[in-house]
Chains A and B, each alone.
Chain A
Amino acid sequence: MSDISQAYPYEENGYTLYSCATCPYAQRALRAFCIAQVPHKVVEIDLLNKPSWYHLVNPQLKVPTLRTPSGDLLIESLVIAEYVADQFPKARLLSLDALERAQLRLFIELFSTRISSVFYRVLRAADVDDQEMEKKKLLEGVREVSRELENQWERESGKGGPFWYGDRFAYAEVATVSFAGLFRVLDHYRGFQVPDTQEYKGFNKWFGAVVNHPGFTDVKPDDAALIASYKRFLP
């Protein structure tokens, strides 16, 4: 690691990932590197107390940011994850087939708009009626995602699941599991759980496999730290 008297700390001739363990966006980048087995240096950024030099890395002061060995800086979690997939094709993070890629991108978009975004609204909702309304929307989203997973498992690239690419924890999981991991937070603050019924079968099968896979557990933040970090979203 370079001397911190330089403009900002980074790993000479290597990848440096500026990250925050509890941030679900940063976890996407971390997981991409871990699944692809690409060596990288992690520089932890305390989002509530950002280092004075961090604006040199990312003027928007967000995580994650990636510094490549050539000194280029990349932002945006999915741009970073896709860069890893493109740069390290042997890891097979992402299919090369155009239609399969498109279907996977749509799944990530569905997950993001129907689950991840709604999750924050459940936390932020001030009164119980609003919380219940957002919880209902969230369950609707989980059912939609469930159906999409089941559609995918009938395709050749899905081959019966439990992950998007069958038995491989890959790009679809890299992009989504950190948000699925937030259900732990919702359970704690809002008593929310996904039912174990038919309509949620796909999601539960997927998530059941996810929580036991090192792709998830290796990068998962500590439960207590995660729960504490979301307190600030409460009304």
Chain B
Amino acid sequence: MSSSSTTEYPYEEGSYTLYVTKHCPFAQRALRAFYAAKVPYKLVEIDLDNKPTWYHLVNPQLKVPALRLPSGEILIESLVISEYVADQFPEAHLLPTDALERAQLRLFVEIFSSKIVPNLYGALRAASAEEQETKKEGILAGIRDASRQLENQWKRVNNNEGLWLGDRVSLAEINTVSFVNQLAAVEIHRGLVVPQSQEYAAFNKWVEAYSARPEYTEYSLADEVIAEKLRKFLA
């Protein structure tokens, strides 16, 4: 590991270096992608409350994750990094090869980014009970959407084992499960309950299926830990 100074930053020569914060759901996308693809890398942990003085050399935006390639290039943005891993290591099958299947997987991931995540933080931040209810309903609407897409997808692949691609973890899980984990904070602080009814059945089955996988458990956090970490967002 090269030494750190004001003009240098630590990295692993000839290898991948991943700059992460283990409890950050965005950074977990990168961690899970590398885990699933079984690609070796050096992990450099960044304390987001006390960032190293050199970190701007890695990512001027000072966010995690960031990835340094063996060739020296640096990539940022969690979705760009996980997709890079899928592209660079096609033998890991993190993405389907068919154009339509890829598009459908991307749209599944998009539900989390556009509908669930904003409402997750929105529910925590909301001051009034009314606004909290609106945000919680936003989360549930997103989950129902995800449930419908899972149902459609399982009909297409004719597979009932519970993951998006049936029996194999892919970017469909890698890019989303950390945010489902985060929902624990909305459950504990805001009383969110995901129903067991038909509209949510596929989603619940999917959660059960991936929760047993090491790609999930390696980085998942206990509900209480999540609730504590996200306490700072509470109004």
Contacts and interface: CB of A to CB of B under 8 A. Distances in A.
B223 interface: no
B77 A79 contact: no
B100 A68 contact: yes
Contacts of A140: none
A72 B101 CA distance: 11
B84 A83 contact: no
Given A98-B87, A105-B83, A83 B76 contact: no
B107 interface: yes
A106 B110 contact: no
B149 to A, nearest CB: 12
Contact of A99 (B69, B103, B106, B107): B69
Contacts of A106: 75-77, 80
A74 B84 contact: no
A83 B104 CA distance: 10
Contact of B100 (A83, A98, A102, A109): A83
* Most chain B CB within a 10 A radius of its CB, from A72, A83, A102: A102
Contact of A82 (B76, B88, B106): B106
Interface residues of B, number: 20
Interface string B100-137: 10111011001000000000000000000000000000
A97 B87 CA distance: 8
Given A76-B107, A99-B69, A87 B100 contact: yes
A221 B6 CA distance: 50
A74 B103 contact: yes
Contacts of B110: 76, 79
A86 B84 contact: no
A70 B35 CA distance: 35
Interface in A158-187: none
* Most chain B CB within a 10 A radius of its CB, from A68, A76, A79: A79
Contacts of A42: none
B1 interface: no
B70 to A, nearest CB: 11
Interface of B: 69, 71, 73, 75-77, 80-81, 83-84, 87-88, 99-100, 102-104, 106-107, 110
20 contacts: A68-B100, A70-B100, A72-B104, A74-B103, A74-B104, A79-B107, A80-B103, A83-B99, A83-B103, A87-B99, A98-B84, A98-B88, A99-B84, A99-B88, A101-B84, A102-B75, A102-B81, A102-B84, A105-B83, A109-B77
Given A72-B100, A72-B104, A103-B73, 16 more contacts: A68-B100, A74-B104, A74-B107, A76-B107, A79-B106, A79-B107, A83-B99, A83-B103, A86-B102, A87-B99, A99-B75, A101-B83, A101-B84, A101-B87, A105-B77, A109-B80
